[in-house]
Amino acid sequence: MTAISNEPSGKVSFWYDPRVRSIASQVLLVIFLAWGSYEIVNNTIANMQRLNIASGFDFLSTEAGFAMAQTLIHFDEKSSYFRAFEAGLVNTIYVSVIGIFLATILGFIMGVARLSKNWLIAKVATVYVEVLRNIPLLLQIIVWYKILLHILPGKRDHASALFGLLDVNVTGIWVPRFIASDGFWMTEVAFLVAIGLAWWIARWAKQRQYETGQPFPAFWTGLGLVIGLPLLVFLVTGSPGIIDHPVFITEGPIFKRGFQQGAGFNFSPEFLALLFALTLYTGTFIAEIVRAGILSVSHGQTEAAGALGLRRGKILRFVVIPQAMRVIIPPLTSQYLNLTKNSSLAMAIGYMDIVGTGGIVLNQSGQAVEVIVMIMAVYLTLSLLTSAFMNWYNAKMSLVER
């Protein structure tokens, strides 16, 4: 194959043709990667066969035989290994989602606070960020766990917090939970309808503001709808559901005393320690990202908006934050991914996340390769999903040229 180059000298020799070189190097890379993966997989299988190690995924349907506390979905000794995986996965998602939510709120507050003109607030935020950001997360998790076990009253004691809303002892925080009964589906439908309506109003309000300049309090209307409509339906349909309070027993056989399983909702101390540590640690990074984002919007923008007659709140909402978000979102995504992956440190304090349950399954079944591959696949999937969502959000927030 010969190519005509732009140089006046005409023909270039085959090996010096940039196109040939580029294709050849890519083909070589692919061949190398394919050969590498083939060798690795093949070698592993051959070695495992030679060593008489069982392989394959049949073990997943075997009865697990071990018990696990603190699962959101039902799991007992008769459940399968696969069910143990599922329970662990749910626990990972549970702590990650709540952690991401709380860390984002904390991070935004602390990021803005660090820029505050109030000396005390700014310094508190600075100390928070600088101290917690620089202590390894694993240590923080262990310290929180030790603190919790130390300060909480024993199993057959309890203490109230927040005007009796929370009930605590060493088995964790107990809160009332809501149990829906027949007919609750109408409230759920109302909730979905309200969300749809709120979305439609927001669009309509935006459209109207573009055309006429008339603002409309879409956020508050939407919030009112989302809360009010389901509440109204709930009351009209005759309040289908009960509040289930935690039950604390002080009489009877010694091990039956204390909080009763199945009444109220329990956050175990393992979960709380992990959640505190993840939230506080990731919050510091988010605070710094938010601060950087706000500082990246040039002061001229604020002044120009002020010159147009916008009030302080609106300057923040319509001028500074939209521009800051473009800087904030990409690194924020990494922090969300980090938090999810860091939740695997849970095994240090016995919170049963996917690594914890996977580890048990690995050890009880002995099928290390399969289990590790499954755990990796889970984290990869979670991370890719988070990335995909954040990329979509980023594209939505990015500069749209008109």
Which residues of the shown chain bind other proteins in the complex (CB under 8 A)? 30, 33, 36-37, 40-41, 43-44, 47-48, 50-54, 65-69, 77, 146, 149-150, 154-155, 170-171, 253-256, 261, 269-270, 347-350, 352, 356, 359-360, 362-366, 368-369, 372-373, 376-377, 380
- As measured in angstroms, the least distance from the Cβ of 393 to other proteins is 20
Which residue lies nearer to other proteins by CB, 35 or 178? 35
- How many CA atoms are closer than 13 Å to the CA of 7, on its beta-carbon side? 7
For residue 297, give the amino acid letter.
V
* Shortest distance (Å) from residue 359 CB to other proteins: 5
| Residue entry with tokens 């939970």 | 177
The CB-of-166 to other proteins minimum distance in angstroms stands at 19
The phi and psi torsions of 175 (rounded to 5 degrees) equal -130, 155
DSSP β-ladder status, 172-175 and 159-161: unpaired
The smaller minimum CB distance to other proteins, of residues 51 and 165, is found at 51
Q: How far is the CB of 148 from other proteins (least distance, A)?
A: 9
Shortest distance in whole angstroms from residue 140 CB to other proteins: 16
CA–CA–CA angle 95, 188, 192 (5° rounding): 90
Q: Which is nearer to other proteins, 50 or 117 (CB)?
A: 50
What Å distances lie between residue 299 and 120, 174, 304, 316, CA to CA?
Answer: 24, 48, 9, 12
The residue among 152 and 194 lying less far from other proteins, judged by its C-beta, is 152
Rank residues 68 and 290 by Cβ distance to other proteins and give the closer one. 68
Residue 363 beta carbon to other proteins: minimum distance, rounded to whole angstroms: 3
Contact 113, 125 (CB under 8 A): yes
d(CA 63, CA 77): 7
SS3 at position 104: helix
Which helix (H) or strand (E) segment is 305 a member of?
A: helix 299-307
Residue 71 or 187 with smaller CB distance to other proteins = 71
Q: Least Å distance between CB 368 and other proteins? A: 5
State the nearest-atom distance from the C-beta of 333 to other proteins, in Å.
16
**Nearest C-alpha neighbor of 376 from the set 65, 179, 85:** 85
Q: Where are the beta strands (DSSP E) in 91-247?
A: 159-161, 166-169, 172-175, 177-180, 241-244
Report the residue number, 52 or 134, with the smaller CB distance to other proteins.
52
The backbone region for 141, taken as left when phi is positive above 0, alpha when psi lies in -120 to 50, beta otherwise, is alpha
**Nearer Cβ to other proteins, position 51 or 307?**
51
